[in-house]
Chains A and B, each alone.
Chain A
């Protein structure tokens, strides 16, 4: 499997916690950017593996107009061939969502929306510096739910008031989205939240919040550390990352992983417009590193990694490469190995970095 990520860096307002590449959209050269994207896509060499997913992330891809989005999808179709089997996800800001827009996206070929609800609590949304309020979030959910069978509600816990999380999850369950992402708020370097790190909640409190969706979303499968899905509604795109498979990245700051090379497009918008696809980082991984990253990534997934899949992919036995670490981790109760499949336990989710540390050896 392979995937395509398209980064749309423009935002109406900048969220104080976001560390993705983004710029204000006012007066921004969006058309020129779309042109540059089309050129970058046209020059790409598709992988041998069949394309299974396209993901528009940002930034705010939902502020693209119909023509802009259409042109990018056309370019992707010409280069990669977009069948209905390809999951095409658009990240949307509740502010941008109307019933009409939702149907337009649908008509253009988008078949999944990842909706940045974050919370159904006005105070929490203000804390996060979001433009929308709880009612706006509700209206957006309804519009998306009407137009899309496949959509994800993206939520953030840890914002103040901390207690709003429970009610947000209850409301989430009422909207019954096929997919839910639930991420803890982080205070990343380089964001305006960085200097507010002192407000970050304690580990033990964070653990309690982390456990809440596990209980509230019992009817969903907790298939990844921070993600829940109804059967068959797992994010095809993110599974490519979590299984450490190949992906193209288009747009400013977009990462790609092709032929064992991790690369990143320039993060500078004007440099990108002049030379679409110019890289600012490029790192060839050794096979050992790829094997290690692959196992670490799979341990984020409830389904883990089968011995057979590892052997198929690398032509070696998982136990030959990681046997002692796997045994030690099993002894610590962080994963299980039934001889067919190695998968993390519930503790293995909560202490996932410990698995990575042990696998490094």
Chain B
């Protein structure tokens, strides 16, 4: 018999990274008996190694828990895990849309951070009932009262109602479960209406194909039902549906108000769009659920095999990776300097790092990566509009009417003593000051609008360094704005190197060119001939650096014991040279293609 809606609670946990979300989820699973103590693996909900290492959750899972509350009734609590990072903000919003309530977890020692705020606002936008929880009250630095005040003053929720807890020690878990039952409204939705189910996540399983996570909003989904995915207009038959408890438990139906999974022989994740609506194929609902959008990549980089012959291997790896992460895109690309490779698009910087790391770790590939960049909108004098994701594809300046670049709004929370440093950093990154809010006596939030291009290079690292790790950052795209942008070319012995071209603000072009050229001079080893490194805008050369020719490279002494040792040493050097890229007649080490990143470390005049 289906569970009545008033016995269902759909909720999620939202928090800043490392505030204890996964630990609390584990504790809840344990207390409700979904996982017994003996089989408890730390942080059951995070399944990938990289996620665990970075303390973040990239993909969500929904788990049904049975909880008998103090009122004597047994409830089905659906815990919907949300991605923990800004890059996946759209996916987060869809997970939130599947819930009626959210636990807002705040670290008792660290207090409200940038992601706490951003996530809280997203939950408020979705009209969720928010239950603040102050976690880690066992820590020596815990200051529960201060965090209560921050919740009241900064987020605008009732801090006094916040539940003190220590997920690590299990304190407060039952209070949290009771609060979910008491405060989170039960789901609504007509179970007799045509089916409308929200896809809030999907995962690839090598045995069963794609597992689609849905929240049924109206009607019911049943095994064997013919369904229509409304945005992609694909039709399938549901071969299995059910809930995770946390292992899969197949059922006959999923009714309005329930969250669970459906399996319908879908082969690739690319066929499933997060936010899409599943309806009955024969009796479709009149329209989609609100809030669907196509997610567009915002950060791009080139990825090339270090050894040319690994191109096919890299393609295979990308295809396999895309089976379980459809949120990055790639297309074959070729560079004069780097040969055959791919251009990849990501949802954000962290997303890019994760994909790069997975490629190297899981597929054992050595890759040459170019510095990340954003997509520019180029308006030509002909009225045509182009999207440029690769600086080397920029049309000549004479054909360009204007160039627009993506802007973000960044919220940076940091201790007040670092504020001046943060402001300086934002200014240097072409940031436009919006406001500074004070969170309490100790911390403040600076809000800036700035070009995404400035953010993708090294902003987060520098922010962390300059705030000694205390700064936190959240950003969202706010659209394209015209910029005084030019393409900066790097020439080696007079030949432009496509993989080293970049788009920069005109005012900084000379400085970037100068610094980049000087970096390259240090990175490119001396060769038998002199190498001229030039930075140029169009025909105008801004700066010239020279790598002097190597004139002496000889092992002066070579006696009996040295012969094989020397040969092996040369073989090792030779191996190193093989990993360099031949650009014209110049051998360029891989690091050179990332030099744009390190340029940012240089003090600016």
Contact = CB atoms under 8 A, between A and B. Distances in A.
Given A296-B570, A351-B528, 15 more contacts: A5-B560, A184-B556, A186-B557, A203-B552, A204-B552, A226-B557, A238-B559, A242-B558, A293-B567, A349-B554, A352-B553, A353-B555, A353-B570, A353-B573, A360-B574
Interface string B548-586: 001111111111110110110011011001000000000
A210 B552 contact: yes
B570 A357 contact: yes
A351 B554 contact: yes
B552 A292 contact: no
B564 A262 contact: yes
A351 B527 CA distance: 10
A22 to B, nearest CB: 14
A255 B561 contact: yes
B551 A204 contact: yes
B554 A350 contact: yes
Contacts of A292: 567
B573 A183 contact: no
A350 B551 contact: yes
Nearest to A249: B560
A241 interface: yes
B571 A283 contact: no
Contacts of B550: 203, 351
Interface of A: 5, 183-184, 186, 203-204, 206-207, 210, 225-226, 238, 241-242, 244, 247, 249, 253, 255-257, 262, 264, 283, 285, 289, 292-293, 296-297, 300, 332, 349-354, 356-357, 360-361
Interface in B141-158: none
A297 to B, nearest CB: 6
Contacts of A249: 560
Leading 3 A-B pairs by shortest Cβ distance: A255-B561, A352-B554, A207-B552
B556 A297 contact: no
Contact of A293 (B554, B564, B577): B564
A313 to B, nearest CB: 16
B555 A352 contact: yes
14 contacts: A183-B557, A186-B556, A203-B552, A204-B551, A225-B556, A238-B559, A241-B559, A247-B560, A349-B554, A351-B552, A351-B553, A353-B573, A357-B577, A360-B571
A296 B566 CA distance: 10
Contacts of A225: 554, 556, 558
A100 B124 CA distance: 103
A13 to B, nearest CB: 21
A257 B556 CA distance: 21
Contact of A356 (B528, B564, B567): B567
A357 B567 CA distance: 9
Contacts of A262: 563-564
B555 A244 contact: no
A207 B563 CA distance: 23
A241 B564 contact: no
B570 A297 contact: no
Nearest to A240: B560
Nearest to B527: A354
Interface of B: 528, 550-561, 563-564, 566-567, 570-571, 573-574, 577
Nearest to A184: B556
B551 A207 contact: yes
Nearest to A253: B561
A357 B573 contact: yes
A118 B48 CA distance: 64
Contacts of A206: 552
A207 to B, nearest CB: 4
B554 A353 contact: yes
A82 B553 CA distance: 39
Contacts of B574: 357, 360-361
B442 to A, nearest CB: 46
A360 B576 CA distance: 13
Contacts of A264: 561
A297 B554 contact: no
A50 to B, nearest CB: 18
A300 B558 contact: yes
Nearest to A358: B574
Nearest to A248: B560
A257 B560 CA distance: 8
Nearest to A211: B552
B570 to A, nearest CB: 4
Contacts of A283: 564
A354 B564 contact: no
Contacts of A357: 570, 573-574, 577
Contacts of A289: 564, 567
A255 B560 contact: yes
Contacts of A184: 556
Contacts of B560: 5, 241, 247, 249, 255-257
Contacts of A238: 559
A300 to B, nearest CB: 6
Contacts of A297: 558, 563
Given A204-B551, A300-B558, A356 B563 contact: no
A104 to B, nearest CB: 27
A56 to B, nearest CB: 14
A205 to B, nearest CB: 10
A328 B557 CA distance: 25
B527 to A, nearest CB: 9
B577 to A, nearest CB: 7
B561 to A, nearest CB: 4
A203 B547 CA distance: 14
B567 A296 contact: yes
A5 B561 CA distance: 11
Contacts of A257: 560, 563
Contacts of B570: 296, 353, 356-357, 360
Contacts of B551: 203-204, 207, 350-351
A1 B408 CA distance: 77
Given A204-B551, A210-B552, A241 B577 contact: no
A5 B570 CA distance: 26
A269 to B, nearest CB: 17
A350 B528 CA distance: 11
A224 to B, nearest CB: 9
A361 B570 CA distance: 11
Contacts of A332: 528
A293 B563 contact: yes
Nearest to B573: A357
Contacts of B563: 241, 244, 257, 262, 293, 297
Nearest to A188: B557
A354 B553 contact: yes
A89 to B, nearest CB: 13
A293 B554 CA distance: 15
A297 B555 CA distance: 11
Contacts of A361: 574
Contacts of A247: 560
Contacts of B554: 225, 349-353
A226 B552 contact: no
Nearest to A285: B564
A332 B553 CA distance: 14
A120 B135 CA distance: 78
A297 B552 CA distance: 18
**Max count, chain B CB within 10 A of own CB: residue among A225, A253, A264, A356:** A356
Contacts of B556: 183-184, 186, 210, 225-226
Contacts of B559: 238, 241, 255
B589 to A, nearest CB: 15
Nearest to A158: B556
Nearest to A224: B558
A183 B559 CA distance: 13
A253 B571 CA distance: 24
A118 to B, nearest CB: 14
Contacts of B555: 352-353
A262 B551 CA distance: 32
B172 to A, nearest CB: 59
